[in-house]
């Protein structure tokens, strides 16, 4: 797999393809980031973008993880002391999950977002950005909430972070798209360069295949889950044997295989008794998906295998949490 394929693997959107191809031509030393609001234990939403960061490290790029403590404070997630404690735990979990510690720069937002130059640039953005434009950028991040002034400032800071962290590429889930488009539009107004962006997919709700998996509204899998809890969640997941003909529902079991398991394992083994056909081996996602749809792979066997591999992925982080909590 060449650098471009590795960088764009499992990306829902690349903005723009030409710019990312230029980065892929010489990826060594290029800086890429994801920003995470320190708000609790890592879950599959965090880990989907972390998988992409691992890809980018393997492609030769330098990874920056922004632990956005100021953003968390603006979002009402606690005092700075409480938020910093959560951020420290998140950093340890990311390393346990597989980010190369020596090749990952962890940065707290408060290290630069309270400086005079940053603050003045933020005010410049506030002057040039309408309230409607800022609200559109943060709408998906704060759905269902009454917008506060702090929420409107939030996406403007995300745009500035891309400049102040000296980045070559911004990465986020598809729900970050409006923020990144705001950055591409507004940063040149401050005489800063617009950077390319890469967006990862949003995994569907685990139990229905609709919407998106959410730790606040539904069932998700986190590093706190025991093996038994993880197995219970996966076994209850929505997993139709065939594709939805209307295209309204996704198969979250297949999505977790595609975005979480296959990027991290070279071979997936489905263990089955001989009377049911014996073990199955897969080196690529498409083969497993085709076997599920054809009936060669039973949904129950797919779920059991998914639980086994997900548990292997989050086990080091689970142990790190236990260690940190004493």
Please tell me the predicted confidence (pLDDT) of residue 210: 86
pLDDT in tens, 175-195: 999 999 999 999 999 999 999
Q: DSSP labels for 169-219?
A: EEEEEGGGHHHHHHHHHHGGGGT-PPPPEEEE--PPPTTTSSS---TTTS-
Kindly state the percentage of the chain with pLDDT values over 70.
95
User: To the nearest 5 percent, what fractions of the chain are helix, strand and coil?
Assistant: 55, 10, 35
pLDDT in tens, 214-257: 655 667 899 999 999 999 999 999 998 877 666 668 999 999 99
**Selection from 48, 7, 9 nearest residue 255 by Cα:** 48
Indicate the CATH number for domain 227-324: 1.10.240.10
Please tell me the predicted confidence (pLDDT) of residue 17: 98
Kindly state the percentage of the chain with pLDDT values over 90.
83
The residues that bridge with 197 in the sheet, in sequence order, are 15, 170
Q: At what angle do helices 149-164 and 131-138 cross, to 10 degrees?
A: 80
- 40 versus 274: the higher-pLDDT residue is 274
Q: Is the pLDDT of residue 141 over 50?
A: no
pLDDT in tens, 265-318: 999 999 999 999 999 999 999 999 999 999 999 999 999 999 999 999 999 999
Half-sphere exposure of 286 (CA within 13 A, CB side): 1
What's the predicted TM-score (pTM) here? 0.94
- Every domain range in the chain assigned CATH 3.40.50.620: 3-200
CB 58 within 8 A of CB 182: no
| 3-200 classified as CATH 3.40.50.620 | yes
Label residue 281 exposed, middle or buried (CB < 10 Å: 0-12, 13-18, 19+).
Answer: exposed
- Every domain range in the chain assigned CATH 1.10.240.10: 227-324
Q: How confident is the model at residue 212 (pLDDT cuts 50, 70, 90)?
A: confident
pLDDT in tens, 62-90: 999 999 999 999 988 999 999 999 999 99
């Amino acid at each position: 797999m060449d650098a471009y394929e590795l960088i764009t693997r499992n990306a829902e959107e690349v903005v723009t393809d030409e710019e990312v191809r230029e980065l892929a031509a010489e990826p060594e030393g290029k800086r890429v980031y994801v920003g995470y609001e320190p708000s609790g234990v890592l879950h599959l939403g965090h880990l989907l973008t972390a998988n992409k960061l691992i890809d980018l490290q393997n492609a030769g790029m330098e990874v920056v993880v922004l632990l956005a403590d100021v953003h968390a404070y603006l979002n009402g997630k606690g005092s700075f002391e409480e938020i910093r404690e959560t951020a420290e735990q998140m950093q340890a979990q990311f390393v346990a999950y597989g980010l190369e510690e020596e090749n990952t720069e962890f940065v707290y937002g408060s290290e630069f977002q309270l400086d005079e130059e940053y603050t003045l640039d933020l005010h410049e953005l506030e002057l040039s950005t309408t309230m409607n434009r800022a609200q559109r950028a943060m709408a998906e991040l704060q759905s269902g909430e009454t917008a506060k002034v702090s929420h409107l400032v939030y996406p403007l800071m995300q745009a500035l972070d891309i400049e102040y962290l000296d980045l070559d590429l911004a990465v986020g889930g598809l729900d970050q798209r409006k923020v990144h488009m705001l950055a591409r539009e507004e940063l040149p107004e401050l005489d800063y360069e617009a950077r390319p962006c890469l967006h990862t997919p949003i995994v569907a709700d685990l139990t229905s295949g609709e919407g998106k998996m959410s730790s606040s509204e539904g069932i998700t899998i986190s590093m706190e889950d025991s093996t038994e809890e993880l197995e219970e969640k996966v076994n209850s997941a929505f997993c139709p044997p065939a594709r939805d003909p209307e295209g309204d529902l996704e198969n979250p079991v297949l999505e977790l295989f595609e975005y979480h398991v296959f990027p991290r394992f070279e071979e997936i083994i489905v263990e089955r008794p001989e009377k049911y056909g014996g073990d199955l081996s897969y080196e690529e996602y498409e083969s497993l998906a085709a076997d599920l749809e054809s009936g060669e792979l039973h949904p129950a066997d797919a779920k059991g295998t998914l639980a086994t591999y997900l548990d292997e992925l989050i086990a080091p982080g689970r142990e790190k949490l236990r260690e940190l909590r004493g």
